[in-house]
Structure 1
Amino acid sequence: MSKLIAFAAIQGGYKVVSEVEGLYQKALATFSADTKVEFPNTAYYLPVIYSLTGLKVETLEDIKKPLAFARGLLPPHVRGKNHLPYLGPLLDAGMAGIIAYEIKEALRIVNQPDFYIAQEDPDIEAGKIWTGPADDTILRKRGVEFVDGSAPGFAAIVGAAPNPEIAKMIVEDYQKKSLYIFCAANHNGNTVIEQLIEAGVQIGWNTRIVPFGPDISSAVFALGFANRAAMTFGGVQPGDHKKILMYNKERIFAFVNALGDIGTEWGVAAAGCVNWGFPTIADTDIPEILPTGICTYEHVVTNVPHDEICQKSIEVRGLKVTVSDIDIPMSFGPAFEGERVRGADLHAQCGGGKTQCTELVKMAQMNEIEDGKIIIDGPDVGDLKVGDTFPLGIFVQIAGREFQSDFEPILERQIHHLVNYIQGIMHIGQRDISWVRISKSAMEKGFTLKDIGVVLHAKFHQDFTKILDKVQVTLYTKQADVDKLTATARDEYHTRDSRVDKMKDEDVETYYSCSLCQSFAPNHVCTVSPERTGLCGAYNWMDCRAAFEINPTGPNQPIEKGECLDPKLGQWKGVNDFVYKASRGAVARYNLYSMVVDPMTTCGCCECIAAMLPGCNGVMTVGRDYPGETPCGMKFTTLAGVMGGGASSPGFVGHSKHNITQGKFILGDGGLLRMVWMPKMLKEEIKDRIEKRGAEMGCPGLYDMIADETVGITEEEILPFLKEKGHPALTMESLIG
């Protein structure tokens, strides 16, 4: 190993730790020792320090221990002669630097609480371009993408490219491969983020280009995000540093791109990242660390040309990505799914309450359609003026020897994602409430409606090759044709929904598993029944059955119920046997209809978490979209942090929004009649279903009896409201026995 590399990293470690010690003493002289220290709206204190050491930094006083720990990690300086060419001292110096950087960023937030903008997307017009540490809502929302593979990893870019065009080229190359791009640090006062803004590229979590901060210390937010993922989804306990680091090496496929001159401060950051198994690939000519050891392959690779840096990074990290080569003039991939088309860049739009936009997938006979045929029936977008609206009907016909009508909604649901994957096109909603916005930039590149058909044809063949043989797409843009398709589609939607809604758990002998999240929550096994949708809300029983038909070796496997051990709580021998095996012996049993007695395991991808409220003899639930306090004393982020690794926690359970009003929702504990509190936004979203289910249970006024945050956020605050309304939970048998 190069003496220069070791010198730079170790020298950088001493420099950074000393600097932060000075900043800390200045903070103590300015603020009281009990001043609160935190990364806002996160449940993991300072996450790198907490995850690796177990130390909870909550006040300025608490910083003393981790800062002393960082000082203790610093190895002896490199000698002029006979230095030891080992990774160990370099890794220790790097870790000391990373810990110091996290403290530095925490002190920045104490001194400048408004430096970072606490939201997914920056406010460029206001000059607030740095988002800082991701809050837990973002972590959980984006964590799903790492679970399902749509985000195979992330590139942490520090510094700046030689010019905005090169910066855009590198970042878009990563976007095409579906990676996140975490950006920090500046080179000679310039940053990749500012270069991208200059090049007209949208930045923010929604486009997977995350502007963490302008200094190299901001890069610690990427490591914090990775460690929080290990604790949130992988169930790794704080303080278990070996498991945290191994989890990241094996499951979080990340790497660093250093663009610009690498000084001692960058050097110590690069050395620190090696502890995680994250290599550094640089564009400058500095000494390399090529032998393998901590990282999967090389540790530091340098002097890489800009047009090769993406592919080289993926190769060095050992990352496997699938790139879809779609023959359209725009870039294509999941990285563009969150891209927004705002008014200034809007060329034309359809749906969204302005016109009708409907989507329908239907099975066809083999001789009825022609594979790859794309029909535009009506004017194309090139015939429209800027600002125009138009109706749109997307009708996809699919034929295949193995295709079934049950598969129609599964493929239909993909239209939303796939259209969104087109750069410059925004898609919201599904079925007959879709909304498509087309940007001027897409039009400048040559977008036509045919490109939507090209994407759907290609991707359906790529993703569902086992069940289909032909795909034909028709896009209607004449009002009469769209209205006709909409009427047909609504009949189909009703037929599908009524078929699922009328099913009962007793009607079937087979349930289905979903183990998609086990890559992050190894002990979690979701059991999906007709009356209990998957925790994430994405799968119902029929979807799982269809998914098993499509992929018999996939995450949705049949579970024979077997002997019923407890009909009230919902426990079956066959389910227990399957769960025990699928959880590798970690979970022996659970109940589908109870949150009090042996509830189902929960992963971090759940839409909602229900918690018992003993003082009200009821339960509450909270969705991931609600950031506030709840009557159980914990926010959603805290609840998910406790349970999200696949735990079965009596008194708590994860579930989907739809499950709240399904017939078997915590029926063993009293069902929906136990619900005494939920956030107003969730309550209003499912109002009609609450009213219907309440009436079925003999309580037609239940909706108005459920408290929300406008009533209170503690049990003491909501109890008078419940008594005034005569909530049924107050007269039911005690929840705690």
Structure 2
Amino acid sequence: MSTIIATAAINGAHQLVDRAESAWRNALVTKGSGQPVGFPNTAYFLPVIYGVTGQKVETLGDVAHAIAKCREMLPPVMKPEDALLSLDPVLNAGMAALFAEEIIEAIRYLEQPDYYTKTEDPIDDNIWLGAADDVILRKRGVEFVDGTAPGFAAILGAAPSDEIAVKIATELQQKNLYTFMSAASGDQLLARQLLRSGIQVGWPTRLVPFGPDTSSTVFGIGFAVRVALSFGNVIPGQAKSLFEYCKNRVYAFVMALGEVSEEWAATAAGALNFGFPVIADSAIPEIPNAIVSNVSQDKIVNRAIDVRGLKIVINEVPVPVAYGPAYEGERVRGEDIYLECGGGRTPMVEWVTSRPIDEVTDGAVEVSGPELDEVPAGSKLPLAIVVEVAGRQMQDDYEPILERQIHHLINYAQGVMHIGQRDIAWLRVSKGAVEKGFRLSHIGKLLHAKLHQDFGRIFDKMQVTLYTRTEDVLAIVAKAKEAYAARDARIEGMTDESVETFYSCLLCQSFAPSHVCVISPERTGLCGSYNWMDCKASFDINPIGPNQPVSKGQTLDPRLGQWKGVNEYVFKASRGNVDHYNFYSIISDPMTACGCMECISAILPLCNGVMTVNREYTDMTPCGMKFTTLAGTIGGGVTTPGFVGHSKYNITQRKFLAAEEGIKRLVWMPRSLKEEIADLFNERANEIGIPDLLNRVADETVGTTEEAILSFLTEMNHPALSLDPLL
């Protein structure tokens, strides 16, 4: 390796460690050693330090150990004429630089609490988002699991012009990659260049402005580390396993735009530890397959993808705007709205239905009523999107699977925003999309192209009609509601006893190798994305996919929910790490979790009951842990007695914690979760003869400690208090 780049990296690491130590000592004077530090709503302390060393940095006093570790790893300052016998000093300097950057940023959060927005999107007076919280990690982590996000580019610096900045960002979006932005080139910042050009930035568009400083880059490395700890069952402190996991499963690279400073070089050296190569547009010394330099801006994206070994698959879709998952989170607002449908403004409905094969003309798209070019900007129209499919393999059970795709497939079109499903959908089309030639008919064309591409195995022909007259839309709404009710009744009437086959879901095994989710009619997937019917249809559509049939076999314990065939499958699919678990219990060997769960339940011994908390709730819970800490405790594919992950819908299923008396044991939930599941919960409460049970369940307005809520439970005569002891 060239001593030039080694000298720069080592010198930069010394500068960063000095800055970190100075900031820490100043903070000690004003705040004291007991002052808590960390990144808001994250479970992994300072994640790079924790992941590599196993050391928890929770207070300013704890920072002393991290500073000492930095000093231990730092090699002596080099001169260009010094000989470099191995890469180890540079990698160690890079790791010290990342540790120092985490300390710098943690103290920034402490001393400048409003420096970062702590949101998914920029706000009016601040574009810097800072560290991703664990809600964002879960939501975006799923995209890395299912392949819609192949990886991320950590970009330091800015492009030579706004036009080149847009080209690079758009190329990364169209390849479905996330872009993490930090550091400046002179007085230019990439995020500012994009905003000046009218490009939306934020987590929803995959263009993430972490911060303006070099040290902000550590949020991207920390995101990768948290993926490994949350989903990969990597144990903190096992640095070799962490580096291997990130190299082999988290496909990332560093892109340096502009002159590489010494602090940039140190940060890039830190990234090399994780297997993340560096690609630069300036002339710096190279390391084969690790540092590639002097790449022109028009080729840098493709060159980075080649060096990292990413496999990007892009299929052409017949629409006049850019198309891909990176545009799914784009927002169309205010003066930019050309057309709005649904969302309470007008009727809107989406419906997939099967037809005899001779009644469907494949590829036919019709707009019945006004088209986009026939209405003025700012219009509102009713809309019904009717997708009719036919084929020898098509079944009624597949209709909701196809229908569920409409949401994200429309959202993938740049300048088109879609929210909701069924008869509560909401569509906005931007003026920019219309100027490029986008019409309502293109919705039909993109649905035909993508559904054929992804699900062509189950149907032969497909046609789409879009209705934009009120009387037509209302007639379609009535028909669609009948179909929705029939579908819901099919799954609602099923029980675990009524079927001999459950289904697996192994989507999260790319992150959590020992986790095996088995889904039954009365226990939906813990991520909330799959029920039994979905998995059955998924297997029929893709027999070698992540949803495989699991024969129940002999019933070993009907109360706990344990079957011989399921145990055998779990043992095999977990590679021998898990030999059994129970579907209906929180105390006796509950099901494993991967980190993707919507909710976590935990026992509250003093209350003789169980609390459950959803991921969106970020405050303290009565079990003494926030959701993030709970997720770190039970995630990674292990069974944790006393705790269990589950979906929101599972709370209202009859077998939820049936071994411990089910919803009679629920004594605390966040108010927002109670409101969200109220209708279905009240149905179950009526069934068991306690129609006002939800009102007897405490929430954060009552308290967030067992002692605080116990008196409320007593006053409300909560049934948990009269049940047999949990422990």
TM-score (norm 1): 0.97
**SS of residue matched to 1:350:** strand
Q: In structure 1, what is the Cα distance between the partners aligned to 2:492 and 2:21?
A: 62
User: Residue type of the partner of 1:504?
Assistant: T
The answer for the alignment partner of 2:153 in structure 1 is 155
Shift of 1:36: 2.1
Instruction: Kindly report which structure 2 residues correspond to 1:4-23, keeping only aligned pairs within 5 A, or say none.
Output: 4-23=4-23
Q: In structure 2, what is the Cα distance between the partners aligned to 1:20 and 1:443?
A: 50
**CA offset digits 1:511-531 (Å, max 9, x no partner):** 111111111111111111111
Q: In structure 2, what is the Cα distance between the partners aligned to 1:585 and 1:261?
A: 50
**What percent of counterpart residues are identical?**
57
Instruction: Kindly report which structure 2 residues correspond to 1:580-595, keeping only aligned pairs within 5 A, or say none.
Output: 580-595=571-586
The answer for the alignment partner of 2:493 in structure 1 is 502
Q: In structure 2, what is the Cα distance between the partners aligned to 1:630 and 1:623?
A: 11
Q: Which of the numbers 386, 405, 408 marks the counterpart of 2:399?
A: 408
The answer for the alignment partner of 1:104 in structure 2 is 104
**CA offset digits 1:316-337 (Å, max 9, x no partner):** 1011122121121111111111
Which sections of structure 2, spanning at least 5 residues, go unmatched? none
The answer for the alignment partner of 1:223 in structure 2 is 221
Q: In structure 1, what is the Cα distance between the partners aligned to 2:572 and 2:540?
A: 22
Tell me if 1:516 matches 2:514. Answer: no
Tell me if 1:333 matches 2:324. Answer: yes
Residues 4 and 80 in structure 2, CA contact (< 8 A), matched pair in contact too: no
Q: In structure 1, what is the Cα distance between the partners aligned to 2:469 and 2:613?
A: 43
Q: Which of the numbers 707, 714, 729 marks the counterpart of 2:705?
A: 714
The answer for the alignment partner of 2:65 in structure 1 is 65
Q: Which of the numbers 553, 570, 577 marks the counterpart of 2:568?
A: 577
Q: In structure 2, what is the Cα distance between the partners aligned to 1:577 and 1:666?
A: 23
User: Residue type of the partner of 2:371?
Assistant: D
The answer for the alignment partner of 1:306 in structure 2 is 297
Q: In structure 2, what is the Cα distance between the partners aligned to 1:630 and 1:82?
A: 56
1:28/1:712 CA distance change after superposition, 3 Å:
closer
1:367/1:85 CA distance change after superposition, 3 Å:
farther
Q: In structure 2, what is the Cα distance between the partners aligned to 1:666 and 1:706?
A: 16
1:235/1:512 CA distance change after superposition, 3 Å:
same
Shift of 1:82: 6.5
Shift of 1:212: 0.5
Residues 607 and 624 in structure 1, CA contact (< 8 A), matched pair in contact too: yes
Shift of 1:698: 1.8
1:536/1:351 CA distance change after superposition, 3 Å:
same
Q: Which of the numbers 315, 318, 337 marks the counterpart of 2:309?
A: 318
The answer for the alignment partner of 1:171 in structure 2 is 169
Residues 404 and 421 in structure 2, CA contact (< 8 A), matched pair in contact too: yes
1:483/1:29 CA distance change after superposition, 3 Å:
same
Which sections of structure 1, spanning at least 5 residues, go unmatched? 291-297
Tell me if 1:549 matches 2:537. Answer: no
Tell me if 1:88 matches 2:49. Answer: no
Shift of 1:686: 1.2
User: Residue type of the partner of 1:333?
Assistant: G
Q: Which of the numbers 240, 248, 251 marks the counterpart of 2:249?
A: 251
Q: In structure 2, what is the Cα distance between the partners aligned to 1:414 and 1:300?
A: 40
Q: In structure 2, what is the Cα distance between the partners aligned to 1:363 and 1:144?
A: 31
User: Residue type of the partner of 2:262?
Assistant: T
**SS of residue matched to 1:609:** strand
Shift of 1:708: 1.1
Q: In structure 1, what is the Cα distance between the partners aligned to 2:696 and 2:79?
A: 74
The answer for the alignment partner of 1:113 in structure 2 is 113
Tell me if 1:358 matches 2:349. Answer: yes
User: Residue type of the partner of 2:280?
Assistant: A
Residues 338 and 379 in structure 2, CA contact (< 8 A), matched pair in contact too: yes
**SS of residue matched to 2:298:** helix
The answer for the alignment partner of 2:38 in structure 1 is 38
Shift of 1:86: 2.7
User: Residue type of the partner of 2:603?
Assistant: M
Shift of 1:2: 1.8
Tell me if 1:28 matches 2:25. Answer: no
User: Residue type of the partner of 2:279?
Assistant: I
**SS of residue matched to 1:206:** helix
Say how many residue pairs are matched. 727
Q: In structure 2, what is the Cα distance between the partners aligned to 1:726 and 1:27?
A: 50
Q: Which of the numbers 654, 657, 665 marks the counterpart of 2:656?
A: 665
User: Residue type of the partner of 1:491?
Assistant: E
Instruction: Kindly report which structure 2 residues correspond to 1:207-606, keeping only aligned pairs within 5 A, or say none.
Output: 207-290=205-288, 298-606=289-597
**CA offset digits 1:260-308 (Å, max 9, x no partner):** 0002111111111100100111111222111xxxxxxx11111112121
Residues 339 and 379 in structure 2, CA contact (< 8 A), matched pair in contact too: yes
Q: In structure 1, what is the Cα distance between the partners aligned to 2:79 and 2:334?
A: 61
User: Residue type of the partner of 2:33?
Assistant: A
**SS of residue matched to 1:265:** helix
User: Residue type of the partner of 1:549?
Assistant: D
The answer for the alignment partner of 2:600 in structure 1 is 609
The answer for the alignment partner of 1:293 in structure 2 is none
Residues 3 and 81 in structure 2, CA contact (< 8 A), matched pair in contact too: no
The answer for the alignment partner of 1:697 in structure 2 is 688
The answer for the alignment partner of 1:295 in structure 2 is none
**SS of residue matched to 1:602:** coil
> Which segment drifts farther, 22-31 or 188-197?
22-31
Q: In structure 2, what is the Cα distance between the partners aligned to 1:382 and 1:679?
A: 47
Q: Which of the numbers 131, 136, 139 marks the counterpart of 1:138?
A: 136
The answer for the alignment partner of 1:679 in structure 2 is 670
TM-score (norm 2): 0.98
Residues 331 and 417 in structure 2, CA contact (< 8 A), matched pair in contact too: yes
**CA offset digits 1:226-278 (Å, max 9, x no partner):** 10111111111111111111110010000011110002111111111100100
Shift of 1:77: 4.0
**SS of residue matched to 2:508:** helix
Shift of 1:355: 0.6
Q: In structure 1, what is the Cα distance between the partners aligned to 2:603 and 2:713?
A: 15
**SS of residue matched to 2:357:** coil
**SS of residue matched to 2:637:** strand
Q: Which of the numbers 182, 185, 188 marks the counterpart of 2:186?
A: 188
Residues 182 and 212 in structure 1, CA contact (< 8 A), matched pair in contact too: yes
Residues 505 and 531 in structure 1, CA contact (< 8 A), matched pair in contact too: yes
User: Residue type of the partner of 1:248?
Assistant: C
**SS of residue matched to 2:384:** strand
Q: In structure 2, what is the Cα distance between the partners aligned to 1:522 and 1:147?
A: 12
Shift of 1:85: 5.0
Residues 560 and 659 in structure 2, CA contact (< 8 A), matched pair in contact too: yes
Q: In structure 2, what is the Cα distance between the partners aligned to 1:90 and 1:361?
A: 58
**SS of residue matched to 1:603:** coil
Q: In structure 2, what is the Cα distance between the partners aligned to 1:311 and 1:450?
A: 33
**SS of residue matched to 2:44:** coil
Residues 358 and 432 in structure 1, CA contact (< 8 A), matched pair in contact too: yes
**CA offset digits 1:37-75 (Å, max 9, x no partner):** 111121211111111111111222211111121112122
User: Residue type of the partner of 2:474?
Assistant: D
Tell me if 1:623 matches 2:614. Answer: yes
User: Residue type of the partner of 1:95?
Assistant: M
CA RMSD in angstroms comes to: 1.3
**CA offset digits 1:454-475 (Å, max 9, x no partner):** 1101111111132222221111
Residues 2 and 85 in structure 1, CA contact (< 8 A), matched pair in contact too: no
1:174/1:585 CA distance change after superposition, 3 Å:
same
The answer for the alignment partner of 1:637 in structure 2 is 628
Residues 3 and 85 in structure 1, CA contact (< 8 A), matched pair in contact too: no
Q: In structure 1, what is the Cα distance between the partners aligned to 2:699 and 2:335?
A: 38
Q: In structure 2, what is the Cα distance between the partners aligned to 1:381 and 1:629?
A: 49
Residues 537 and 607 in structure 1, CA contact (< 8 A), matched pair in contact too: yes
The answer for the alignment partner of 1:294 in structure 2 is none
Q: In structure 1, what is the Cα distance between the partners aligned to 2:29 and 2:240?
A: 36
Residues 324 and 333 in structure 1, CA contact (< 8 A), matched pair in contact too: no
